Amino acid sequence: MAETTLLQQLIPYCKTLKVLYVEDHKENQLASMPLFEDIFGRVITADNGKEGFSCYINEHSDTGCYFDLVITDIQMPQINGIHMIESIYKINPDQKTLILSAYQNEEYLIPLINLTVNGFIKKPLMLDEILCQLHKIFKKELERGEYTFAQSYRYDAQNKRLFNAEQEIMLTQNETKLLDLFLNNTQQYLSVEQIFDHLFFDNPLKDFSSHSIHGILKRFKSKMPENFIVNNKTLGYKINESLYPHQ
């Protein structure tokens, strides 16, 4: 699959993900962060396995949610990546993990294969390889069209159902169209005219009304997390990226 196609498919979904990135070499961490921040909604860093595991525990204590993905190096001081993942799997066997390593030594790889980690990437990091691994790891979620945000909200885009924790939030047809529109355009502001065209594209005879769009937006925002939508008087409306995926 071409890199451009992968980007188009992955980025809207990955922008809803909360990621723990564990890397002991600061220069590697600093070099990788701009790339990860472009791909994911929120990235928390740790400098070794011990700190990484503490971040993992604290995130669940603070938000009630685990990280969507753990990206980690193997060789690190205090606790290495293998032992950290072992500890994580003991409390969350379903955790998705992606291993970064310059090593091809069986001494490191066999224990990770036995742990059934979800993917491997060799250093130095390349965008196309990262995208391929993410596509493999989140293939089922992408096929389901599932988004998570604001810690407890989950949207099943395929079946058009929104949940806060386990409670379903009922959306009107226009509110569902609006949520799809925002989730597919996370990086840009949408004007009132663009929103109108999207909601009423199948009704070309309907006269434009900014008042009706503002009414739909008001009712929509009342069902979503606080500050889910931000408004710029000049540019329009967009999703508040700080809510990904707790956000």
> Residue 127: which CATH number?
3.40.50.2300
Q: What kind and span of H or E run contains 82?
A: helix 81-91
Residue ranges in the chain whose pLDDT is less than 70: 1-9, 103-115, 144, 243-247
pTM over 0.95: no
- Give the pLDDT score at 4: 53
**Measured CA distances, 155 to 158, 165, 224 (Å):** 9, 11, 11
- Is residue 102 a contact partner of residue 122, using CB atoms and an 8 Å limit? yes
- Give the pLDDT score at 163: 92
- Give the pLDDT score at 245: 42
- Give the pLDDT score at 102: 72
Burial label for 105, CB within 10 Å (0-12, 13-18, 19+), is: exposed
Residue at a domain's end among 98, 125, 143: 143
Q: How many domains does the structure of the chain reveal?
A: 2
Q: How far apart are CA 188 and CA 32, in angstroms?
A: 24
- Give the pLDDT score at 8: 64
**Measured CA distances, 246 to 94, 195, 216 (Å):** 19, 25, 24
**Full domain range(s) for residue 116:** 3-143
Q: Tell me whether the omega of the peptide bond preceding residue 245 falls within 30 degrees of 0, making it cis.
A: yes
Q: How far apart are CA 72 and CA 171, in angstroms?
A: 39
Q: Within this chain, do residues 166 and 209 fall inside the same structural domain, yes or no?
A: yes
Decide: helix, strand or coil at residue 247: coil
Q: What kind and span of H or E run contains 81?
A: helix 81-91
The CATH number of the domain holding residue 232 is 1.10.10.10
- Give the pLDDT score at 206: 86
Q: Within this chain, do residues 135 and 153 fall inside the same structural domain, yes or no?
A: no
- Is residue 1 a contact partner of residue 27, using CB atoms and an 8 Å limit? no
Q: Tell me whether the omega of the peptide bond preceding residue 34 falls within 30 degrees of 0, making it cis.
A: no
- Give the pLDDT score at 32: 94
Q: Within this chain, do residues 42 and 92 fall inside the same structural domain, yes or no?
A: yes
